[in-house]
Structure formats: structure tokens, C-alpha cells
Amino acid sequence: MRKVISALSLTGLLAAAALLLAPSAQAAGYVYVGMYPSAAACDAAGKDYVARGQAVSYFCDATPTAARLSIWV
């Protein structure tokens, strides 16, 4: 019985390690790109990333003095 449990545990650990190391197992998400002087400049830059196919979508976090651009890759 111990050998069966040990073998199953080892198989589970190997499967988990393979998932962690595989590039396709890594989750996509928003990546910070940079700061822009206005929300309009940030929006234009985000649209440009999407138009060039470098991002799926984008998000601008605007403040009164600047805007932070993050893109979904």
C-alpha cells in the first residue's frame, strides 16, 4: 500500500512540475508599459499596441497629472 501511495505522490509531483515549467501553463495578464502625460495619450498608445497586434487589450489608469498604460498580452 505504501508503494502505491508513494508512486501516486511522485506522479502528482511530476505532473505539477511539468505544468509549472511549461510556457503554455503561464497565465496571461496585464503588463505595465509606461506612464503618459494624459489619458488621451495613454488611450492612443494603447490603441496602437492593439492595432500592431502586440496586445489583446489595454487599460489606462488615469490620474489628474498622468496616465499609466497596461496591456493584456
pLDDT in tens, 5-62: 554 454 544 444 444 444 444 457 899 999 999 999 999 999 999 999 999 999 999 9
pTM, two decimal places: 0.61
The answer to whether 27 and 65 are in contact (CB under 8 A) is: no
Following DSSP, what letter does each residue of the chain receive, concatenated? -HHHHHHHHHHHHHHHHHHHH-GGGSPP-EEEEEEESSHHHHHHHHHHHHHTTS-SEEEEEE-SS-EEEEEE-
How many CB atoms lie under 10 A from the CB of residue 41? Answer: 15
